[in-house]
Amino acid sequence: MASFTELEVWKQSRKIRNWITDLIKNFPAEERYRLADQVIRSSRSIGNNIAEGHGRFHYQDNIRFCIMARGSLSETLDHLIIAFDNKLIKEEDLQTFQTEYESCLKLLNGYIQYLKKKKVDELS
């Protein structure tokens, strides 16, 4: 694969990042530099880690960065649960994100398994 932008998992992370960017525009001003900043950073980190891992050219490095992307994905979900608990987002927003979260998690786990297999195949 020539570019990380061709990876379905990166495309899904981009979709999440853009959705989060639109969602936080409705946060109150006092949350702009607290929760809003954290959720933006964690959502951006998902795709950033996928891209960085892809650029490493070693399966183990790529796997490590994908695991970090998975952590950022979970962190983003936690931030949105906090936003829901604090009545900053609606339940339907949280449910929408959970659907996107599950899709991205499946893609990430599949990509990690693919990389692990390629790593084993390379050693054989």
114: which 2 tokens? Answer: 């693919």
Give the CA radius of gyration of the chain.
Answer: 16
Distance CA 32, CA 87 (A): 15
Domain covering 8-123, topology: de novo design (two linked rop proteins) (1.20.1440)
Note whether 72 and 49 are within 8 A (CB).
Answer: yes
Q: Give 55's DSSP letter.
A: T
For 39-64, write each residue's pLDDT tens digit: 999 999 999 999 999 998 899 999 99
The residue ranges of every structural domain in the chain are 8-123
Cβ atoms of residues 88 and 94 within 8 Å? no
Q: Which pLDDT band, with edges at 50, 70 and 90, does 1 fall under?
A: low
Q: Which two tokens stand for residue 70?
A: 């998975």
Percent of the chain at pLDDT > 70 equals 99
pLDDT of amino acid 124: 73
Confidence of residue 2 (pLDDT cuts 50, 70, 90): confident
The reported pLDDT for the residue numbered 33 is 84
